[in-house]
Structure 1
Amino acid sequence: MWEHQSLFRVSAQLFAEGIFNLLDRNLRPEVFLLGLASGREEDDPQSVVVEPASLRYTPAEFGSIKSLAASFEQDIGPRENVYHLHPQDHDRMEKQHWYELVCRATDQTMQQIVKKRQENRRSFCSTPLSLNGYLVVVVVQLAADAFNAYYTLPGKQGQTWPASLPHAAVLEFLHECTRALREADTADNEQPVLDRDYNEVLRGAGRRLMLRISPGNMHGLYDACLGVAALRHEGDEGRGTMLLGRRQHAAIVPVLTLETPVPLRDHRSIRKLLELTEGRTGLVSDASHVFGLGYAVEEGDARYEPLATVHFTNHYGWELRHAGHTLMRVVSNTPRLPQGKVQADNFARVVRQVFPDVNDEGVDYLWELALEASGQSHGTMLCISTGAKPEAERLRRQCFRVVPRPMTAPVLRQASSIDGAVLIEPTGVCYAIGVILDGQATEKGDSSRGARYNSAVRYVSSSPYPCLAVVVSEDGWIDLLPSALHT
């Protein structure tokens, strides 16, 4: 298609890994390019180009996309005539309409291929971009089980309607790829550049999600919440709830109504009003103004309707929830997926992946220890490694070695009260406490997270032994970092 297509595809793959690894490493993104020749018939062998050429999908599997797109046009039927003042406007609108049909056809084709092959993948396609005689589509695939594990908003979803934070991140990623291709088409060097900061992409995804959730699709809600969370009132952190709904919403019972609604951009006033919230009672906002206090009716009430709420949890921290489900957590202006208590089935799956010799009884035993670690409010780390004994010897100058003994929950609670990791074997035998983990620097780190998280990432990335780190951060985040996903 063009000279630098392989370089762009590799750049897009690394870009996707950097973004989605910050959300959930189990998403395992895979990016490829699809080129549909504009001037060739579908039976022409060169009518479809797949990059990379070694991809498991063949060009022939995408040969009928343009015919499928044309059939969608027939199904739509005659469209309303729209007259434009300039002929180029009409051509541009017609091209955009055709590109949307091609995108829809590509998406349907990918769904059929994945279903036929019984792959555990979710596919997303960008709107085509005309480049050197080809309609270029960027396709990103994510692990379906990991993607579907998160709560999604009900109703329609699409190119501008994200249903979850991972979906919003996909849309933001595809937007960046299309932008880079468009700029390369007009630049002298023709080399697409994907240089946007990963966290900035996630901030864009957070804004997309907030735009979807806000009543009337009001812009600025995300940044308003950032501004409110950054303020203190008389030295105290901001804590409270804000209900999002149109004015006089039937599912919101008013408690106190302001005579003059306060603009949401007035961060200091909103921060002060948060002091009035308590329990179920929160500020009521239409994403533009706050017009009082109220609370949502119970689910069994005839007026009930799932509502979006913003929960300010601490300084620079807040959460977006819908119908009781957490859609995203924002810490220091960085959106992340909700990380609550470790789930038993997910923990067991990861343990069996990293330590295939551990039986069900052993998994239950490690699960009990992980639960105890996850309950530490000050943060801690449990490192499970087949090389716990030699690693305790290697790190003897940066840990407290102990006489080997089976770890129990009460002992773990005491051992994890000091800084550093608790180092145990998959059998549960402990060899060291207060371990300062080392490891080589890696791009898989996250500058927005603390030293505990990043040291664990470095350690499991470079460890010669199969290992699993259970990282509990002081802000309540819980991460499972298995070495198997870093090799």
Structure 2
Amino acid sequence: MPGKGMYLFMWSYQDSYRIHIQILVRSVLAILGAPEDAEVFIVGARSPDNNNHNPVCIEPEDGIWGLSLFEGLLDSVESTYRDHDAHNLFYGDDASMRDKPEWIRRDSVRKSVQKSLDAYDKKNDVTSFCGEVRNLDGYYISTVIQIPNTTFQKHPPLPFKQGAKINGHRSLIHAAIHAVLHEATEELQHPDPGRNSFYSMRKPEEIIRIAARNFMYTPGGAIEKGYMFNDLFTSLNLISSLMYEGNKGVGQLILVNPDNDAIEFLIKFEESISFREPRWVRKVLQMASTGIGIIANSQYIYGLGRLKESHDPSMQDVFIIEFIDHCLWELRCGEQAMLRSHYSEPKLPQEPFDKTTFLANYTRLFPLSTKKDGVNLWNLMLIQINQGYGSMIVVAEDAEDEALRLSKQGTRIKPVPLSEALLKSVSCIDGTILLSPDGYCHAVGIILDGEATEQCTPSRGSRYNSGIRYVQSNGPKRLAIVVSDDKTIDIIPQLRKLVSRSKIEKYLATFEASTIDNYHDSRNWLDKHRFYISAEQCARINRKIDYIEAHPKDVGVIHLCTEHFEVHPEMNLSYLID
């Protein structure tokens, strides 16, 4: 920001630019359903015609990335530039030939920065993504996003194994990161990048849709030699939204080269059907049944058939589109789910809730229950979710008494363990299934009562709001699992995730060691995780807050005060891991 002292200076708004990109990529990851632990920094390599005394600059200059990481960067850039393959390219227009040396230098900077980070990435178990380079005020600027490799362990990308003829992004996360980096590069071309980023850059939701469209080019590039880059993401969303004579589109579409020996045609059309005819495609989908799918590439449908059991999914030459429900579909390669689109909103396929967190919270809520009881309810929840219609299960400490009290508003039964078969049978009627913490069913079809609370909302249906009213009533502990007709899944009360002790300590140590200029990131993380902070940690944080608040502030700079930390009354060690 203007007025801030900076030794490794590239341009006036470099810190606000970096902060905005970091907020943006973390927001994108959060919406996708991935961990938000992304870091952003900027590397500037001095251009040959610049006489600045700093050959390399980093933003933030006092962050965890030292200048020593980029020792010899300019020599590496020059070497890469001299040996670049693009020198041998010839374009058909004078403008491109004129710009070619600049394009080569930009790419040489990007490759050299990426190479400089290889050892750091390996040592710290992260992956660095370097954006396209632009020349700004005498420095070639590269924006770098770093992602912990644990993110890719949780959401594995396509391995792109040797022999697999595939191009494109390895995962939706990769596509999203590249979309953010593209946005960051575009911002570098505006006057004073970082000054008005909030208004000039796209919002996270729009970037995610761009990433999904780009990622859906990957199957087409894998199965076709002359891929035409059709907008498959938009086409599939439209097809999944169409009804056929009142029926939802449910079935399988096999994306494959129609000449691939991995498929067996049962019906082959005389003339292929274009994806540009969505109603016709939807009509064909109606013919797909269990074990039979639509055979198509990214442009045309060729018939109906199936994938042979002998096919090796590691070849990555066949992708499956599973139409699950109205406006709900999923992309898979073998058994690996890659993308799920619900009402045209792309996300990473995953369990609706983390199993470890669910079991820990269940034990905490019902201390007399066993681990087996929690696992049993988890399995019942997965069955409930996959039934295809709305339902609600309520677990109550006082289930026996409540079944008697509400007997005029449902059907009271002799307690029996809720099995899969029984769940499927009784959840098809209106009302709630009432269980005790040990998994015994005491009543079915129950109409719940309770007073409205602040958590009730007119934007949700009656099933969700009745669950809120009942569970949050004063008295014995209760838990509700609500599956709405639109496939929205809620657990009431909301589950608190488990947090790593070492991660809390890492951010706390960083906050304690921070300066008045760079405390914001660690402070913001701690602020979001107030619930998990112990009394001793609160005292350490508050000492640093007092130091920051007492420090003289620059005139004209907006400063946001931080409230002192206090121990949350519900916090206990069971919320912490490792």
Band the TM-score falls in, shorter-chain normalisation: 0.7 to 0.9
What is the CA–CA distance in structure 2 between the aligned matches of 1:450 and 1:74, rounded to whole Å? Answer: 68
Q: CA deviation at 1:174?
A: 0.8
Q: CA deviation at 1:78?
A: 8.8
2:208 to 191, 198, 202: 202
Pair 1:218-2:229 in alignment: yes
2:156 to 151, 164, 187: 151
Q: 1:75 to 1:133 in 2, by over 3 A?
A: closer
Residues 95-123 of structure 1, C-alpha deviations (whole Å, 9 max, x = no match): 2233223222222322311323x34x322
Kindly indicate whether the alpha-carbon contact (under 8 Å) linking 2:340 and 2:347 is maintained by their aligned counterparts in 1. yes
Given the two structures, how large is their TM-score scaled by the length of structure 1?
0.73
**1:125-274 pair list within 5 angstroms:** 125-155=130-160, 161-184=168-191, 193=199, 195-214=201-220, 215=224, 216-274=227-285
Q: Which residue of 1 aligns with 2:349?
A: 338
What is the CA–CA distance in structure 2 between the aligned matches of 1:281 and 1:40, rounded to whole Å? Answer: 64
Secondary structure of the residue that 2:286 maps to in structure 1? Answer: helix
1:61 to 54, 69, 88: 69
Q: 1:434 to 1:169 in 2, by over 3 A?
A: farther
Q: CA RMSD in A?
A: 4.7
Secondary structure of the residue that 1:184 maps to in structure 2? Answer: coil
Amino acid in structure 2 at the alignment position of 1:295? R
Q: 1:176 to 1:418 in 2, by over 3 A?
A: farther
Of 74-83 and 214-223, more deviation after overlay is shown by: 74-83
Q: Is there any run of 5+ residues in structure 1 with no aligned partner, and where?
A: 389-407, 425-432, 442-446, 457-467
Q: 1:315 to 1:472 in 2, by over 3 A?
A: closer
What is the CA–CA distance in structure 2 between the aligned matches of 1:207 and 1:302, rounded to whole Å? Answer: 23
Q: 1:143 to 1:439 in 2, by over 3 A?
A: farther
Kindly indicate whether the alpha-carbon contact (under 8 Å) linking 1:373 and 1:382 is maintained by their aligned counterparts in 2. no
What is the CA–CA distance in structure 2 between the aligned matches of 1:207 and 1:175, rounded to whole Å? Answer: 14
Kindly indicate whether the alpha-carbon contact (under 8 Å) linking 1:229 and 1:316 is maintained by their aligned counterparts in 2. yes
Q: CA deviation at 1:207?
A: 0.8
Pair 1:95-2:102 in alignment: yes
Pair 1:34-2:34 in alignment: no
What is the CA–CA distance in structure 2 between the aligned matches of 1:205 and 1:300, rounded to whole Å? Answer: 29
Q: CA deviation at 1:196?
A: 1.9
Q: Which residue of 2 aligns with 1:393?
A: none
Pair 1:482-2:496 in alignment: yes
Q: 1:276 to 1:179 in 2, by over 3 A?
A: same
Amino acid in structure 2 at the alignment position of 1:313? I
Amino acid in structure 2 at the alignment position of 1:100? D
Kindly indicate whether the alpha-carbon contact (under 8 Å) linking 2:42 and 2:60 is maintained by their aligned counterparts in 1. yes
Secondary structure of the residue that 1:99 maps to in structure 2? Answer: helix
Residues 104-143 of structure 1, C-alpha deviations (whole Å, 9 max, x = no match): 2222322311323x34x32211011111111111111223
What is the CA–CA distance in structure 2 between the aligned matches of 1:180 and 1:469, rounded to whole Å? Answer: 46
Residues 435-484 of structure 1, C-alpha deviations (whole Å, 9 max, x = no match): 9885799xxxxx9999969x99xxxxxxxxxxx99886666577895356
Q: 1:174 to 1:80 in 2, by over 3 A?
A: same
Kindly indicate whether the alpha-carbon contact (under 8 Å) linking 2:17 and 2:193 is maintained by their aligned counterparts in 1. no
Kindly indicate whether the alpha-carbon contact (under 8 Å) linking 2:313 and 2:333 is maintained by their aligned counterparts in 1. no
Pair 1:283-2:294 in alignment: yes
- Equivalent pairs, count: 431
Q: Which residue of 1 aligns with 2:505?
A: none
Q: 1:165 to 1:381 in 2, by over 3 A?
A: farther
Q: Which residue of 1 aligns with 2:13?
A: 4
Secondary structure of the residue that 2:208 maps to in structure 1? Answer: helix
Pair 1:17-2:26 in alignment: yes
Q: CA deviation at 1:19?
A: 0.9
What is the CA–CA distance in structure 2 between the aligned matches of 1:339 and 1:449, rounded to whole Å? Answer: 24
Task: Select the structure of larger CA radius of gyration.
Answer: 2
Pair 1:114-2:98 in alignment: no
Q: 1:53 to 1:205 in 2, by over 3 A?
A: same
What is the CA–CA distance in structure 2 between the aligned matches of 1:348 and 1:53, rounded to whole Å? Answer: 39
Amino acid in structure 1 at the alignment position of 2:260? H
Q: CA deviation at 1:371?
A: 3.7
Q: 1:47 to 1:421 in 2, by over 3 A?
A: farther
Secondary structure of the residue that 1:295 maps to in structure 2? Answer: strand
Q: Which residue of 1 aligns with 2:129?
A: 124
Q: 1:302 to 1:239 in 2, by over 3 A?
A: closer
Kindly indicate whether the alpha-carbon contact (under 8 Å) linking 2:393 and 2:433 is maintained by their aligned counterparts in 1. yes
Q: CA deviation at 1:303?
A: 13
What is the CA–CA distance in structure 1 between the aligned matches of 2:103 and 2:461, rounded to whole Å? Answer: 41
1:320 to 331, 350, 358: 331
Residues 188-244 of structure 1, C-alpha deviations (whole Å, 9 max, x = no match): x77674542322211111111111111325322111111111110001111121111
What is the CA–CA distance in structure 1 between the aligned matches of 2:41 and 2:334, rounded to whole Å? Answer: 36
Kindly indicate whether the alpha-carbon contact (under 8 Å) linking 1:129 and 1:182 is maintained by their aligned counterparts in 2. yes
Q: 1:243 to 1:89 in 2, by over 3 A?
A: same
Secondary structure of the residue that 1:183 maps to in structure 2? Answer: coil
Kindly indicate whether the alpha-carbon contact (under 8 Å) linking 1:12 and 1:194 is maintained by their aligned counterparts in 2. no
2:303 to 273, 292, 303: 292
Residues 261-285 of structure 1, C-alpha deviations (whole Å, 9 max, x = no match): 1111101000001111112321111
Q: CA deviation at 1:58?
A: 1.2
What is the CA–CA distance in structure 2 between the aligned matches of 1:76 and 1:469, rounded to whole Å? Answer: 61
What is the CA–CA distance in structure 2 between the aligned matches of 1:17 and 1:348, rounded to whole Å? Answer: 23
Of 46-55 and 129-138, more deviation after overlay is shown by: 46-55
Q: Which residue of 1 aligns with 2:55?
A: 47
Amino acid in structure 2 at the alignment position of 1:57? W
Amino acid in structure 2 at the alignment position of 1:151? P
Q: CA deviation at 1:154?
A: 3.6
The one of the two structures with greater contact order (alpha-carbon pairs below 8 A, sep at least 6) is: 1
Secondary structure of the residue that 1:249 maps to in structure 2? Answer: coil
Kindly indicate whether the alpha-carbon contact (under 8 Å) linking 2:392 and 2:463 is maintained by their aligned counterparts in 1. no
Q: 1:375 to 1:220 in 2, by over 3 A?
A: same
Kindly indicate whether the alpha-carbon contact (under 8 Å) linking 2:256 and 2:317 is maintained by their aligned counterparts in 1. no
Amino acid in structure 1 at the alignment position of 2:145? V
Residues 64-91 of structure 1, C-alpha deviations (whole Å, 9 max, x = no match): 33333444456667953525531x4224
Kindly indicate whether the alpha-carbon contact (under 8 Å) linking 1:180 and 1:193 is maintained by their aligned counterparts in 2. no
Q: CA deviation at 1:171?
A: 0.9
Amino acid in structure 2 at the alignment position of 1:49? C
Amino acid in structure 2 at the alignment position of 1:38? S
